[in-house]
Each structure stands twice: as structure tokens, then as C-alpha cells.
């Protein structure tokens, strides 16, 4: 797994008990899960809009910035629920060599 994700996950764990006045992550936890989910939703929309703009303009810098915001807030959500990025990278690793179309067909035949 990426060192950055691993290091960020450690910081996010520490920030759960930090002072909301000095930590953005702690301020999200203080406001509760609904606030964190609201931020994930906002960043998701901003990412979609940035992707549309990137297709038009060919400039992907805003898309990278917004996707980083989305990943970050998703990691805060996971952390809130006792999960880290490793759970997600392990799930992606499990899917290696499994075609998305094959997986879908297997699901539908169950």
C-alpha cells in the first residue's frame, strides 16, 4: 500500500482525539458521521464536475486536486468506522485477475 495512505491513516487515527479548534479532522469527528458523509458527497460532486471540465479543457490539475479531497474525506469516513485504507487495498487486491464483467455475471447467476 502507498506510504502516503498509510501515514495519513496514522495521522487520522491520532486526530480522532485531538482538539477540534486546532484540527480539521477532529472538527469533523466532533460534528459527527453525518457531517463527514456530507463532505464526502460534496467532494464527490466536485470531482465529477472537475472530470467534465478536464474532458473539455484537457487540463487535469483541478481533477487531481478534487480527487485528493475526495480520497481524504473518504479516509476520514473509513477511520470513523474503524477501517483504514488497507481494508480497501486488500479488497482491490482480492479482485486482481477477476474481470469486472465476469464478477457481474457470477453475481447475477447467484
| Alpha-carbon gap, residue 58 to 64, rounded angstroms | 12
Closest residue by Cα to residue 76 from 107, 21, 35, 19? 35
Binding positions for ligand PRT, 32-51, rule CB under 6 A: 42
Do the beta carbons of residue 85 and residue 3 sit within 8 Å?
Answer: no
According to the binding rule CB under 6 A, does residue 23 interact with ligand PRT? Answer: yes
According to the binding rule CB under 6 A, does residue 11 interact with ligand PRT? Answer: yes
Cell of 30: 466532533
According to the binding rule CB under 6 A, does residue 62 interact with ligand PRT? Answer: no
15, 29, 63, 78: which one binds ligand PRT (CB under 6 A): 15
62, 67, 72, 74: which one binds ligand PRT (CB under 6 A): 72
Binding positions for ligand PRT, 75-104, rule CB under 6 A: none
Report the nearest approach of ligand PRT to the CB of residue 76 (Å): 8
Q: What are phi and psi of 50, to 5 degrees?
A: -65, -35
Q: What are phi and psi of 86, to 5 degrees?
A: -60, -40
Q: Which residues are at the interface with ligand PRT (CB under 6 A)? A: 8, 11, 15, 23-26, 42, 69, 72
Amino acid at each position: 500500500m502507498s506510504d502516503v495512505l498509510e501515514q495519513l491513516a496514522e495521522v487520522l487515527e491520532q486526530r480522532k482525539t485531538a482538539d477540534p479548534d486546532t484540527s480539521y479532522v477532529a472538527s469533523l469527528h466532533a460534528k459527527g458521521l453525518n457531517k463527514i458523509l456530507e463532505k464526502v458527497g460534496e467532494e464527490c460532486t466536485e470531482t465529477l464536475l472537475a472530470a467534465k471540465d478536464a474532458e473539455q479543457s484537457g487540463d487535469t490539475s483541478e481533477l487531481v486536486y478534487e480527487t485528493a479531497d475526495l480520497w481524504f474525506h473518504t479516509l476520514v469516513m473509513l477511520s470513523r468506522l474503524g477501517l483504514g485504507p488497507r481494508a480497501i487495498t486488500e479488497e482491490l487486491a482480492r479482485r486482481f485477475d477477476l474481470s469486472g464483467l465476469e464478477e457481474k455475471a457470477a453475481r447475477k447467476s447467484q
